[in-house]
């Protein structure tokens, strides 16, 4: 390995060529004759190049012997001009769908796309701006092949998960590595508590990105593309270039103002029945389920017409305050009637306001300065849920004739997320807003007081031990998360004439997150005594990269580019939570306002990495490119003897259309074949070698009830316990190997383009806690084991069916299909729990032979023919003893189609996406069924049902046989109530019945824009105006969810975690309409 | 310029030395712990595993023994292998308890502190004995040594029982060596070595008693034990919870019943009627003998005649509950009765004494959670002695032992009463009750005598299910409620009485050396001769 790097160094230093030069000048214009600013002009076959200035002119020193120059600008067709005798070369670039040329690759290295032997996709800033979406990743949905993006909830500021080409790690980070202006950008989620049992839908830190400040996003999909980034690259990389970091040169002062306003509302509500109120067996009772008496006038038989008022005060004085309820001690009666809008009224209209100013100007002759200031204010559809973010970024760069250049960016984001307490219905700690909101008892009048005027306690139709009134919960329970993030980035370069270019970059990326969660006294949560959790998380990452590079052209046929580099990285995380119990003052949300405080477990980790890398690209005749890379890392988290590890990559790009000299105006206008292989090593989490003791560890906080049975210190005594994970002192690095074959084709002068790739990624010797049988004395063994394989294909297809002078229609399709399979674990271990959720309920697991993160859960008993076994005593379904794999959250494929219509200055765009397959476990649907609120459940409710199946023996779980030895078909009638609430198919069903195929087709984004061109505005100071309207999530169809639920399966209670496909009373999805204006001065 | 840049490069490369990377020691968590900090953790852990509360197995066993009723599978004698309390119990005993106890034994040897080793050996032996009582065959010889045995084989319950007796002798030998003793880091006996020896002997006695019909029974050993020191009044093996909410140190049963505004346990009407001296299901054993412990055992949130918040399933005066076997059958069993249902009272969980006020229970009620979890009481030792005397003809007098056991049973209730300032059960009320029971005993044949001993023991064991669950399976006593014979028209029993618990489900999946999952209705514990 070292030899490889030395070789590159030798090449860099040893070869120099002297060249004579001439100066070329010219202007680059678009078909309208307007100058193109910032077009790149390269001397073919050399590194010599420049960009056009504000007037579209360029000046270029061309080495002797060069015969042609190439001119390119995004959105225009690249032109290659053969040089004649003249030193003035003016060029007009035709507009059109083109294969992009210069792209940013790993470590910010700009390369000609043609020479790249791996999949890479670029999205411009415009494609995600002014789309009525403040979250960069969500704005990308449906637009990039090979990428799976899941938004977690409609809580403003909540997390979004982005995975490129499937998971590569059993239990570690699987989300892509984000790199902003050359420095890794941590996108983790931190939050004071776990969403299952309470706490909020926290954001992940990728939310700190300001979409307005983004110049472009480049997605490096495979490990080969990313190998130079080192360990974290096996997951793929999202490289973001900000406007401030782009170094785009401008003459004069440019100001861009953009403003957007959007309103949002809940995307869908279930169709609810309004015939039956709460109770059971057609009798009214004050309960959760709407299985009670019919409302007067809705059925042909007599029913109740009034009921006791549900209000029960716990303080004697409280009654007196409710004058309308009459005298104390006498329970008032109220009319028994349906409140058809009681669910709907819980969801408001939200707003999203987004303002941004970008200022850019030149500095001196070669310098640039850009500043962006943005403000986002997002109020959700729930009371007291919001996300406000202010971002400021500035960047400047300059270069000198001496070959020295320097640049720096600084960006700061301050955000405040406010939200509701979440959590699943079964958790006693939770007082979630959503605990009852989608399936309110049909006779519940939400307009009634929700707060005891004396004690402040929550008042609801059901006991306080069951749930908080959602209005009370929204007002008095919640969380907020206050984040400030700072990124500083300095880069400097020096081109040593005839030797090599030196580039150095150092960046610091840091954030402070301060969280607060609270339950006010009188809530169901926190024993009704009030609780404040205060937590902080500090993250700091320092990255330093030194790179030497050199490009050499030996002759017309052969060129070589070489780089070596050195990388230092340090990451530090410090966190602590303090839980304060028993609030004193009802309103003060401060840990000091509690009687007792315990720490919730602090953490400190620091890891360091040193890397040395090299890259060699061989360019043969400008149509065959071979790139070799090698990187050696030394990681602080491995045992000393194993801490050094090397990993190589190789990629080949073959532009066969050039090699075969195919006619660019022919049917096949361009064609390229890509082939690559890479290996990437990864090191373990810090402190994974030595066994430790936990100090004062309490019960796990994911108990069914979310309540700890016991904490330490106990009666004043500290308690220490050995951790339950066994450590392996001989850990080795884990490796991910990636193979990819790709094809890029352009037809009919690139009216049709196709980029297709197939790939395989195998991760071996995974570093993860291996599940041991508990009887071994440990739950897990942190060691190297197993094998995870992803195979996939992705296709990006671009078609321009129509192009006339004034009209253009383009279609861009992104197809993604992959499958990640657990091929091997270790020894007898054939399953690992990714995370135990509610103890014993549905669990996401890694199981040998199954896809990543399948669900294991309880199932109903069946006979050998698959018939359900029915309990003869009640007609319900018998439960099987053993759990089975009952669902797979991974979609079969996804397809995103973007249609763009341009007519004169109008642009109409529509993003349609289709996700086929992939399962979702939904507790909301479960409860909607179990509580009997859906419209179809009121049809023929008086009639019972017979569950198809055969009678079974509940001890042996085998079919009961009649005197002839035949199975006995079930004939036992169950009430509709039992059909959905018994041991059947709804609230108390085995897990398998609550897993639904989440296939969904969605009209994700429609936007209509109108630009007033610069020409029209000639005499005003305004250079351009763009007005657009946008709609998001306008329509969707998820056909496999139960009738009347209208459930949107794009939801994830667990944010960006590795266990996906779970919905535990999550905040439902939204629909948004917005309008934007952009002014350019 | 060139030189400066090269210098910078050199500085950066020079950072690549190894010291820069030697930072992999966790600064927040220690690699070593003192015995004084490990002992409290293992003790609390063991009570957490076996007691009631969300994560303790007694929350299931207390339903099987008809002390309480819960809405769930256990209401029809069924536990699924993934049941939370079951998994947590398994986790606490094996993954938390065994490595910590092994480490204490090892470290105590290194530090020459045999008393710590003795305590750890005794706790471990007791824990494994209780595990055999639940699961019969369990991982034992290969448990807790994962580098050697990552996938342990299981041992027969009988062989584990045999070794438990050996380990208890080793524990006693260690305890007798003396030396450095724990002080209040011993949450149970405050470092009193004599009490630990009594405890070890008492565990041995209970093990022999359960195995009295097997080859393991050793009459002369039992005689030696009866002559030696055993737990007596005030020496119950119990963990004393406190009133501390944060850190949470309250009795987990109290947290469930009082602290969350949503009580989880209903009192079994069968248990209530037995104590009331009425016919309970098919059982008429104690008809006419009213137990004065009722207001200490059960707390009524209603007064007689007061309207409950929802339609009732079982109501008697202020007492409100649901019947065993009625889950999802009785239309009235599922309603929220948070402020109406009768709660587990003062005695077993540190709740409230029922003074008849009908106040709603809350985290401020009664002893506020300062109730001990008991796993082996002095009273139980006497009930065991009574059983052994009656069946194995030991040197004890069965009747005297029953009498003394009942006296001790009442004494602990009065202890709780005095702690909360409630009226004590008057001496004459106790005498009246015990006299009636003893009169019944005197009139009974041998079989019924045993039933009386075990029924009284069952009343005393309220709050911890493991001993009574073993008694019911071993002897058939106390009788369990036949839901067909209760007054509730909906309640039925569809499953037979479970003779053991299933293994925690996930554990079998990942262990090729583990036996097949147990059939909870067929796979008996080795001492179960029925």
Give the tens place of pLDDT for each residue, A1030-1072: 999 999 999 999 999 999 998 888 777 888 899 988 889 999 9
Quick one: pLDDT band at residue A527, thresholds 50, 70, 90?
A: confident
List the structure tokens of A76: 């225009």
Mean pLDDT of chain A: 87
Q: Please say if the pLDDT value at position A19 is more than 70.
A: no
Least confident piece of the model among A323-327, B32-36, B136-140, B448-452 = A323-327
Average pLDDT for A103-108: 77
Q: Please say if the pLDDT value at position A451 is more than 70.
A: yes
Rounded to a whole number of angstroms, the distance from the CA of B149 to the nearest CA of chain A is 7
CA dihedral defined by B107, B111, B112, B114, rounded to 10 degrees? -40
- Interchain contact B511–A (C-beta under 8 A): yes
Question: Alpha-carbon distance A899 to A910, whole Å?
Answer: 5
Q: Helix axis angle, B114-135 relative to B35-50, nearest 10°?
A: 20
Interface of B with A in 214-253 (CB under 8 A): 240, 242, 244-249, 252
Q: Please say if the pLDDT value at position A805 is more than 90.
A: no
Question: Alpha-carbon distance B212 to B152, whole Å?
Answer: 29
> What are the pLDDT digits (tens) for B423-461?
999 999 999 999 999 999 999 999 999 999 999 999 999
Q: Is the dihedral of CA A1045, A1047, A1052, A1058 positive or negative?
A: positive
Higher pLDDT, B181 or A457: B181
DSSP B155: B
- ipTM (interface predicted TM): 0.91
Q: Residue B96: closest CA among chain A residues belongs to which residue?
A: A724
Q: Please say if the pLDDT value at position A993 is more than 90.
A: yes
- Interchain contact B506–A (C-beta under 8 A): yes
Q: Please say if the pLDDT value at position A271 is more than 70.
A: yes
pLDDT at site B304: 94
Highest mean pLDDT range out of A185-199, A332-346, A473-487, B199-213? Answer: B199-213
CB spacing of B249 vs A781 below 8 angstroms: no
> What are the pLDDT digits (tens) for A727-769?
999 999 999 999 999 999 999 888 999 999 999 999 999 999 8
CA distances in angstroms from A959 to A345, A922, A945, A948, A954, listed in the order given: 49, 31, 20, 13, 9
> What are the pLDDT digits (tens) for B494-525?
899 999 999 987 788 889 899 999 999 999 99
Question: Cis ω on the peptide bond leading into residue A784 (within 30° of 0)?
Answer: no
In sequence order, the β-bridge partners of residue A90 are: none
> What are the pLDDT digits (tens) for B83-112?
888 988 998 999 999 999 999 999 999 999
pLDDT at site B144: 93
Least confident piece of the model among A158-167, A439-448, B37-46, B319-328 = A158-167
Quick one: pLDDT band at residue A706, thresholds 50, 70, 90?
A: very low
Mean pLDDT of chain B: 93
% residues pLDDT > 70 (chain A)? 92
Q: Please say if the pLDDT value at position A238 is more than 50.
A: yes
pLDDT at site A14: 45
Question: Do the beta carbons of residue A992 and residue A866 sit within 8 Å?
Answer: no
Question: Do the beta carbons of residue A46 and residue A619 sit within 8 Å?
Answer: no
Residues 6 or more apart from B511 whose CB is under 8 A from it? Answer: A773, A775, A828, B151, B152
Average pLDDT for A325-334: 68
CA distances in angstroms from A629 to A307, A468, A561, A563, listed in the order given: 77, 59, 12, 9
Pairing of strands A752-771, A734-747: antiparallel
Quick one: pLDDT band at residue A313, thresholds 50, 70, 90?
A: low
Residues 6 or more apart from A659 whose CB is under 8 A from it? Answer: A621, A623, A624
Residues of A within 8 A of B88 (CB-CB) are: 703, 839
Q: Which long-range contacts (CB under 8 A, 24 or more apart) does B155-163 make?
A: B156/B526, B157/B132, B157/B525, B157/B526, B157/B527, B158/B214, B158/B216, B158/B526, B160/B128, B160/B129, B160/B131, B160/B132, B161/B129, B161/B132, B161/B207, B161/B211, B161/B216, B161/B526, B161/B527, B162/B216
Quick one: pLDDT band at residue A22, thresholds 50, 70, 90?
A: confident
Least confident piece of the model among A11-15, A979-983, B253-257 = A11-15
Judged by DSSP in three states, A617 sits in strand
Q: How many Cβ pairs within 8 Å bridge chains A and B?
A: 344
Average pLDDT for B194-215: 98
Q: Please say if the pLDDT value at position A96 is more than 70.
A: no
Quick one: pLDDT band at residue A318, thresholds 50, 70, 90?
A: low
Judged by DSSP in three states, B170 sits in helix
Residues of B within 8 A of A829 (CB-CB) are: 510
pLDDT at site A1: 47
pLDDT at site A432: 84
> What are the pLDDT digits (tens) for B24-62?
999 888 999 999 999 999 999 999 999 998 789 999 999
Closest C-alpha to A232, from A188, A181, A296: A188
Quick one: pLDDT band at residue A182, thresholds 50, 70, 90?
A: confident
Show the 3-state SS of A697-708.
CCCCCCCCCCCC
List the structure tokens of B61: 């066993």
Higher pLDDT, B312 or A10: B312
Mutate to test the interface with B, among A499, A774, A822, A856 (most CBs of B within 10 A): A774
List the structure tokens of A255: 């100001």
φ, ψ (nearest 5 deg) of residue A844:
-80, 130
CB spacing of A717 vs B248 below 8 angstroms: no
Rounded to a whole number of angstroms, the distance from the CA of A572 to the nearest CA of chain B is 11
pLDDT at site A554: 84
Q: E strands of A904-952, at which residues?
A: 906-916, 919-922, 950-951
pLDDT at site A170: 86
Q: Which of A463, A494, A831 sits opposite B1 (nearest CB)?
A: A494
Quick one: pLDDT band at residue B81, thresholds 50, 70, 90?
A: confident
Average pLDDT for B347-367: 94
Q: Which of B37, B338, B506 sits opposite A718 (nearest CB)?
A: B37
> What are the pLDDT digits (tens) for A894-953?
999 999 999 988 999 999 999 999 999 999 999 999 999 999 999 989 988 999 999 999
Question: Alpha-carbon distance A963 to A957, whole Å?
Answer: 19
Q: Residue A718: closest CA among chain B residues belongs to which residue?
A: B37
Q: Please say if the pLDDT value at position A663 is more than 90.
A: no
pTM score: 0.86
CB spacing of B146 vs A772 below 8 angstroms: yes
pLDDT at site A17: 38
pLDDT at site B11: 54
Q: Please say if the pLDDT value at position B295 is more than 80.
A: yes
> What are the pLDDT digits (tens) for B316-350?
999 999 999 998 888 888 888 988 999 999 999 99
pLDDT at site A430: 64
Question: Alpha-carbon distance A597 to A581, whole Å?
Answer: 6
Residues of B within 8 A of A981 (CB-CB) are: 328
Residue A100, burial from CB neighbour count under 10 angstroms (0-12, 13-18, 19+): middle
> What are the pLDDT digits (tens) for A351-396?
999 999 999 988 777 889 999 999 999 999 998 999 999 999 999 9
Mutate to test the interface with B, among A279, A499, A570, A709 (most CBs of B within 10 A): A709
In sequence order, the β-bridge partners of residue A845 are: A833, A854
Interface of B with A in 425-454 (CB under 8 A): none
CB spacing of A524 vs B261 below 8 angstroms: yes
Rounded to a whole number of angstroms, the distance from the CA of A669 to the nearest CA of chain B is 46
Average pLDDT for A500-515: 93
Q: Please say if the pLDDT value at position A57 is more than 90.
A: no
Residues of A within 8 A of B512 (CB-CB) are: 827-828
């Amino acid at each position: 390995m070292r030899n490889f790097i030395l070789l590159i160094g030798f090449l860099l230093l040893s070869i120099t060529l002297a060249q004579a030069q001439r100066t070329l000048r010219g202007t680059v214009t678009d078909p309208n004759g307007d100058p193109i600013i910032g077009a790149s002009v390269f001397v073919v076959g050399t590194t010599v190049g420049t960009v056009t200035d504000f007037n579209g002119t360029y000046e270029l020193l061309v080495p002797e012997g060069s015969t042609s120059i190439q001119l390119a600008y995004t959105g225009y067709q690249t032109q290659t001009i053969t040089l004649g005798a003249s030193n003035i070369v003016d060029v007009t670039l035709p507009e059109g769908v083109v294969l992009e040329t210069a792209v940013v690759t790993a470590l910010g290295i700009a390369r000609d796309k043609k020479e790249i032997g791996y999949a890479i996709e670029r999205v411009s800033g415009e494609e995600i701006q002014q789309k009525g979406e403040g979250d960069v990743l969500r704005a990308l949905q449906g637009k990039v092949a090979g990428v799976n993006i899941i938004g977690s909830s409609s809580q403003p500021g909540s997390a979004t998960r982005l995975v490129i080409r499937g998971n590569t790690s059993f239990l570690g980070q699987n989300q892509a590595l984000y790199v902003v202006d050359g420095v890794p950008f941590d996108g983790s989620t931190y939050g004071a508590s776990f969403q299952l049992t309470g706490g909020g839908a926290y954001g992940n830190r990728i939310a700190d990105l300001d979409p307005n400040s983004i110049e472009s996003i480049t997605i490096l999909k495979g490990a080969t593309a990313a190998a130079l980034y080192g360990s974290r690259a096996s997951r793929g990389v999202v490289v973001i270039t900000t406007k401030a970091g782009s170094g785009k040169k401008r003459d004069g002062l440019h100001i861009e103002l953009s403003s957007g306003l959007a309103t949002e509302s809940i995307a869908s509500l279930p169709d609810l029945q309004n015939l039956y109120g709460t109770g059971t067996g057609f009798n009214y009772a004050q309960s959760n389920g709407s299985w009670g008496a019919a409302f007067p006038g809705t059925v042909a038989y007599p029913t109740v017409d009034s009921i006791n008022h549900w209000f029960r005060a716990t303080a004697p004085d409280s009654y007196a305050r409710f004058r309308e309820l009459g005298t104390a001690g006498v329970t008032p009666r109220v009319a028994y009637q349906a409140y058809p809008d009681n669910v709907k009224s819980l969801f408001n209209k939200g707003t999203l306001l987004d303002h941004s100013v970008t200022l850019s100007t030149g500095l001196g002759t070669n310098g640039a300065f850009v500043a962006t200031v943005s403000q986002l204010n997002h109020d959700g559809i729930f009371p007291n849920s919001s996300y406000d973010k202010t971002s400021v970024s500035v960047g400047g760069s300059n270069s000198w004739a001496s070959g020295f250049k320097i640049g720096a960016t600084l960006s700061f984001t301050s955000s405040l997320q406010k939200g509701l307490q979440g959590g699943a219905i079964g958790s006693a700690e939770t007082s979630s807003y959503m605990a009852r909101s989608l399936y309110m008892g049909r006779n519940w009048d939400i307009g009634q007081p929700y707060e005891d005027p004396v004690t402040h306690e929550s008042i609801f139709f059901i006991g306080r031990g069951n749930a908080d009134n959602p209005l009370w919960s929204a007002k008095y329970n919640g969380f907020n998360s206050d984040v400030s993030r700072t990124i500083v980035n300095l880069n400097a370069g020096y081109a040593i004439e005839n030797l090599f270019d030196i580039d150095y970059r150092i960046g610091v990326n840091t954030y402070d997150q301060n969280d607060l969660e609270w339950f006010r006294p009188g809530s169901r949560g926190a024993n009704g005594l009030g609780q404040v959790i205060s937590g902080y998380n500090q993250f700091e990452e320092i990255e330093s990269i030194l790179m030497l590079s050199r490009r050499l052209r030996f002759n017309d046929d052969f060129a070589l580019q070489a780089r070596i580099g050195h990388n230092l990285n340090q990451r530090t995380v410090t966190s602590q939570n303090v839980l304060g119990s028993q609030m004193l003052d009802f309103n003060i949300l401060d840990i000091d306002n509690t009687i007792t405080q315990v720490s919730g477990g602090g953490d400190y980790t620091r890891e360091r990495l040193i890397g040395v890398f090299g890259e060699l690209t061989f360019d043969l005749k400008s149509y065959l490119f071979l790139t070799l890379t090698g990187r050696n890392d030394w990681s602080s988290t491995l045992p000393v003897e194993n801490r050094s590890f090397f990993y190589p990559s190789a990629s080949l790009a073959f532009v066969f259309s050039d090699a075969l000299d195919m006619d660019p105006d022919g049917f096949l206008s361009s064609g390229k074949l890509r082939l690559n292989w890479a290996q990437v090593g990864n090191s373990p989490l810090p402190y994974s070698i030595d066994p430790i003791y936990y100090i004062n560890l309490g019960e796990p906080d994911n108990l069914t009830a979310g309540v700890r049975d016991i904490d330490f210190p106990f009666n004043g005594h500290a308690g220490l316990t050995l951790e339950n994970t066994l450590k392996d002192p001989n850990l080795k690095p884990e490796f991910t190997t990636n193979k990819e074959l790709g094809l890029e084709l352009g037809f009919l002068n690139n009216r049709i383009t196709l980029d297709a790739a197939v790939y395989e990624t195998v991760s071996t010797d995974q570093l993860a806690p291996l599940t041991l049988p508990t009887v071994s004395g440990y739950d897990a063994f942190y060691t190297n084991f197993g094998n995870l394989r992803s195979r996939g294909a992705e296709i990006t297809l671009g078609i321009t069916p129509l192009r006339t002078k004034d009209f253009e229609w383009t279609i861009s399709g992104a197809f993604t299909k992959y499958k990640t399979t657990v091929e091997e674990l270790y020894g007898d271990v054939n399953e690992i729990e990714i995370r135990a959720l509610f103890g014993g309920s549905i669990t996401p697991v890694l199981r040998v032979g199954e896809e990543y993160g399948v669900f294991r859960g309880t199932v109903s008993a069946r006979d050998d023919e698959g018939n359900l076994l029915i309990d003869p005593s009640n007609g319900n379904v018998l439960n099987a003893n053993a759990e089975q794999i009952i669902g797979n959250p991974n979609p079969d494929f996804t397809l995103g189609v973007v249609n763009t219509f341009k007519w004169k200055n109008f642009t109409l765009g529509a993003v349609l996406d289709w996700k086929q397959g992939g399962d979702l476990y939904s507790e909301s649907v479960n409860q909607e069924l179990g509580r009997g609120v859906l419209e179809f459940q009121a049809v023929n409710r008086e009639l019972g049902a017979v569950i198809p199946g055969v009678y079974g023996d509940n001890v042996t779980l085998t079919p009961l046989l009649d005197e002839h030895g035949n199975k006995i078909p079930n004939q036992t009638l169950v009430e509709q109530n039992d059909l959905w609430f018994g041991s059947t198919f709804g609230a108390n069903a085995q897990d398998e019945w609550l897993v639904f195929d989440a296939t969904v087709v969605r009209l994700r984004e429609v936007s209509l824009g109108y630009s007033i061109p610069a020409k029209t505005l000639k005499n005003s100071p305004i250079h351009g105006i763009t007005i657009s309207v946008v709609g998001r999530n306008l329509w969707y169809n998820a056909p496999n969810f139960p009738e009347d639920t209208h459930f949107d399966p794009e939801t994830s209670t667990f944010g960006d975690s590795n266990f996906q496909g779970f919905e535990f009373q999550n905040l439902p999805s939204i629909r948004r309409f917005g309008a934007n204006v952009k002014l350019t001065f | 310029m060139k030189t400066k840049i090269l210098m910078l490069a050199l500085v950066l490369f020079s950072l690549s030395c190894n010291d820069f990377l030697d930072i992999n020691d966790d600064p927040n968590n220690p690699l070593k712990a003192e015995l004084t900090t490990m002992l409290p953790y293992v003790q609390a852990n063991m009570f957490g595993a076996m007691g009631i509360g969300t994560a303790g197995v007694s929350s299931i066993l207390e339903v099987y023994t008809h002390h309480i009723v819960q809405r769930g599978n256990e209401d029809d004698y069924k536990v699924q292998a993934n049941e939370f309390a079951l998994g947590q119990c398994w986790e606490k005993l094996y993954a938390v308890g065994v490595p910590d106890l092994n480490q204490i034994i090892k470290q105590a040897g290194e530090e020459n502190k045999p008393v710590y080793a003795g305590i750890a050996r005794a706790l471990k032996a007791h824990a494994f004995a209780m595990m055999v009582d639940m699961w019969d065959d369990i991982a034992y010889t290969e448990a807790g040594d994962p580098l050697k045995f990552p996938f342990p084989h299981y041992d027969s319950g009988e062989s584990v029982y045999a070794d438990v007796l050996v380990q208890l002798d080793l524990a006693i030998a260690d305890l007798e060596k003396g030396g450095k003793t724990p002080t209040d880091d011993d949450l149970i006996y405050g470092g009193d070595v004599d009490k630990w020896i009594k405890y070890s002997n008492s565990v041995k006695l209970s093990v022999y008693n359960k195995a009295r019909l097997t080859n393991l029974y050793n009459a002369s050993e039992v005689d030696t034990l009866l002559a030696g020191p055993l737990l007596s009044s005030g020496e119950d093996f119990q963990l004393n919870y406190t009133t501390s909410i944060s850190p949470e140190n309250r009795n987990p049963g109290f947290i469930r019943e009082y602290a969350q505004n949503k009580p989880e346990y209903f009192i079994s009407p069968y248990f209530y009627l037995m104590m009331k001296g009425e016919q309970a299901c098919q059982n008429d054993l104690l008809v006419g003998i009213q137990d004065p412990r009722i207001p200490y055992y059960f707390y009524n949130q209603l007064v007689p005649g007061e309207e409950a918040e929802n339609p009732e399933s079982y109501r008697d005066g202020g007492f409100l509950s649901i019947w065993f076997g009625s889950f999802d059958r009785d239309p009235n069993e599922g309603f929220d009765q948070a402020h109406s249902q009768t709660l587990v009272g003062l005695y077993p969980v540190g709740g409230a004494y029922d003074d008849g006020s009908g106040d709603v229970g809350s985290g401020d009620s009664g002893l506020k959670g300062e109730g001990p979890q008991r796993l082996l009481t002095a009273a139980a030792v006497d009930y065991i002695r009574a059983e052994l005397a009656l069946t194995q003809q030991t040197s004890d007098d069965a009747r005297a032992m029953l009498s003394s056991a009942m006296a001790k049973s009442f004494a602990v209730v009065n202890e709780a009463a005095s702690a909360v300032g409630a009226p004590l059960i008057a001496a004459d009320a106790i005498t009246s009750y015990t006299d009636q029971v003893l009169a019944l005993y005197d009139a009974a044949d041998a079989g019924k005598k045993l039933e009386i001993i075990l029924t009284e023991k069952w009343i005393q064991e309220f709050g911890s299910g493991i001993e009574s669950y073993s008694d019911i399976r071993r002897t058939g006593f106390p009788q369990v409620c036949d839901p067909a014979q209760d007054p509730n028209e909906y309640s039925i029993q569809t499953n037979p009485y479970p003779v053991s618990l299933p293994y925690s489900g996930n554990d079998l999946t990942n262990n090729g050396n583990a036996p097949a999952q147990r059939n909870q209705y067929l796979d008996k514990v080795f001492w179960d001769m029925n």
